[in-house]
Amino acid sequence: MNVRKCWNYAAAYEASSVHFTMANKTLIISAPGKVILHGEHAVVHGKVALAVSLNLKTYLRLQPCPDQKVQLNLPNINVHLSWKPAALQFLQSAIDVTDVLTPKAPNQEQMDQLRRFAGIPEGSTDTESLSILCFLYLYGAISTRNGWSEDELELINKWAFQGEKLIHGNPSGVDNAVGTWGGILRYHAGKIVPLYRVPTLRILLTNTKVPRSTKVLVAGVKDKLNKLPSIIKPVLDSIDAISCECERVLAAIASSNAIDENYSILEELIDINQHHLNVIGVGHSSLDRLCQITATYGLHSKLTGAGGGGCGLTLLRPDTSHSVVEAATQALKDFGYDCWETVIGGSGVSLHSPFSLPKDIFQILCNAKNCQ
């Protein structure tokens, strides 16, 4: 397998379609979104975090283009570019990725070449620019195999990590690992372990639309820890214990042991963790409002990720009625939030036949901007 195909996954966290010469083939690849169930921020300080995939996926379509151009369409971020293949030949010599079994990030000289080629100014960190640079770096041949072996998935994960590094600088490796393998992963001190005895959980994922800086929030927690170690360290220890207890409870639910009792524990863990995250300074009024709104419907919520705005998750029990979910969703939307019902623990990176896709997804891909 020529694994330079892996740009298709690493560069496509936005719903996208890419067109280039590939004899009479159309490929559709998907990768799941990700949330942190428990352990955000504490994981930076050596504690356990549980990262989970979502059944909300990014889809990438690759198909032949009649005019033989390489076209990149990322409609969610308004990127629509095309190049003649000859114009991209410099990638083969300027970007040394001949050893595809040893993924590595571009050096500064290579980054400068990519920026000049794409016309992207030095220092640009907007999503559009970084996505284009990631695509150009990882651009290569695409395998047509239906599925991948474990070794190939590991290689996909490593190449996806290089895309993460190009975009985010110094990532933990959790995002690309969850995107590759799916399911629920335990992350501790740089070691990532898949969890197999876990149930599928229903959740609401809510975007408060409040922007925030992960870097600033992480620095703020570190500052609090340095100033008040005797206070903040026990909070981080407690978050670590929450992650470990959640892992135990998920295994119990998967074994069909005391479902109601264990869901009650999951709800308590969510509430406690949300309070802890407020204590260490990563809460926000928009997230407090999210928790208050869902609480009126008997539901339990917490922030997920960096905090300071951003997204939150709400646990739904197996017997939570559609009417309750619908009412809570509408109440959140009334405050201007985006909200989706989904499940956690879905599959990782996947290769699809166009005819195996859900009709709504297939229609979206068919309506995406086609080759010109």
What's the one-letter identity of residue 49?
Answer: A
**C-alpha distances in angstroms, 296 versus 287, 289, 323, 326?**
15, 11, 14, 13
Phi then psi for 344, rounded to 5 degrees? -100, 155
Pinpoint the alpha helices (H) of the chain.
7-10, 90-94, 108-118, 127-138, 150-168, 174-181, 214-227, 229-254, 259-279, 285-295, 322-334, 359-367
**Does 175 participate in catalysis according to the annotation?**
yes
Q: What's the token pair of residue 23?
A: 């004899």
**173-175-176-178 Cα dihedral, nearest 10 degrees:** 110
What is the three-class DSSP state of 359? helix
d(CA 70, CA 21): 7
Candidates 67, 99, 175, 260; catalytic one = 175
Angle in degrees, 0-180, between the axes of helices 214-227 and 229-254, rounded to the nearest 10: 120
Angle in degrees, 0-180, between the axes of helices 259-279 and 285-295, rounded to the nearest 10: 160
Tell me which residues are annotated as active site. 175
